[in-house]
């Protein structure tokens, strides 16, 4: 009977681990859905004529960023009519879903950065000041440790495009991987800022 109970405990531990893995995958999928809905909302509010003029610029900027961050592994990005991402590899275009999770995260982040850079360049063309900062909020939360480090390495390659890159995260190991970090904690109803 003891062996039976031990086996049952082991089975329950395995089920618990499987459940945790499923929860992580669900969280990652929810993050992707949130990203797509943000992009969809942004583009549905822009008239079609402007979208058609912006799409090639966004694709070109995304291609440039992906090429730089993957060290030439992927150098061509195209956007289909619905702004779905197509990635050039071995002289063929493939949907972004074909690639690994880390590569998809990198390409999606590049697209978001490209969109902001194109919009900023349009603003500066029309007399508005040029934004030279990049703000990233919780881009690491759905990634495992290896993907976080890969993405961080890719972000370092963007330093020549932005005077400062600000990352907001709750992921502890990122704080030790950047040149400067601050920690904001609540203490007695006040926010306390500490250098890490």
Distances (CA, A) of 82 to 64, 126, 130, 146: 21, 27, 29, 31
Of residues 96, 66, 63, 68, the one with CA closest to residue 82? 96
Amino acid 94: pLDDT? 94
Measured CA to CA, the distance from residue 104 to residue 118 in angstroms comes to: 21
**pLDDT-based confidence at 14, cuts 50/70/90?**
very high
pLDDT single digits (tens) 129-167: 566 788 888 888 777 787 788 788 878 877 777 778 888
pTM for this prediction: 0.61
Measured CA to CA, the distance from residue 52 to residue 83 in angstroms comes to: 11
pLDDT single digits (tens) 36-94: 777 777 666 666 667 677 889 999 999 988 888 888 888 899 998 877 899 998 889 99
- Helix, strand, coil percentages in the chain from 3-state DSSP, rounded to 5: 55, 20, 25
**Domain map (residue ranges) of the chain:** 1-45, 132-196
Place of tokens 């349009």: 122
Amino acid 15: pLDDT? 92
DSSP letter string over 76-91?
A: EEEE-TT--EEEEETT
pLDDT single digits (tens) 15-25: 999 999 999 88
Count Cβ atoms below 10 Å from residue 103 Cβ, excluding itself: 19
Measured CA to CA, the distance from residue 74 to residue 88 in angstroms comes to: 6
Measured CA to CA, the distance from residue 77 to residue 82 in angstroms comes to: 14
pLDDT > 90 in the chain, percent: 17
Local structure of residue 159 (DSSP, 8 states): T
Structure tokens at 143: 């990634």
Domain made up of 132-196: CATH architecture: 3-Layer(aba) Sandwich (3.40)
Amino acid 81: pLDDT? 80
Local structure of residue 152 (DSSP, 8 states): H
Measured CA to CA, the distance from residue 175 to residue 153 in angstroms comes to: 14
Amino acid 125: pLDDT? 63
33, containing H or E segment:
helix 2-44
């Amino acid at each position: 009977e003891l062996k039976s109970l031990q086996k049952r405990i082991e089975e329950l531990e395995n089920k618990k681990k499987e459940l945790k893995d499923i929860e992580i995958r669900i969280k990652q999928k929810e993050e992707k859905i949130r990203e797509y809905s943000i992009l969809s909302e942004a583009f549905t509010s822009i008239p079609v004529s402007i979208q058609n003029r912006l799409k090639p610029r966004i694709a070109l900027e995304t291609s440039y960023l992906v090429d730089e961050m993957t060290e030439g592994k992927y150098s061509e990005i195209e956007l289909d009519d619905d702004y779905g991402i197509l990635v050039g590899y071995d002289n063929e275009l493939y949907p972004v879903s074909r690639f690994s999770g880390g590569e998809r995260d990198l390409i999606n982040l590049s697209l978001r950065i490209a969109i902001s850079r194109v919009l900023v360049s349009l603003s500066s063309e029309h007399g508005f000041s040029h934004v030279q900062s990049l703000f990233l909020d919780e881009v690491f939360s759905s990634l495992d440790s290896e993907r976080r480090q890969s993405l961080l390495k890719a972000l370092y390659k963007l330093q020549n495009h932005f005077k400062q890159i600000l990352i907001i995260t709750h992921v502890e190991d990122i704080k030790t991987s950047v040149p400067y970090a601050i920690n904001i904690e609540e203490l007695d109803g006040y926010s306390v800022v500490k250098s890490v």
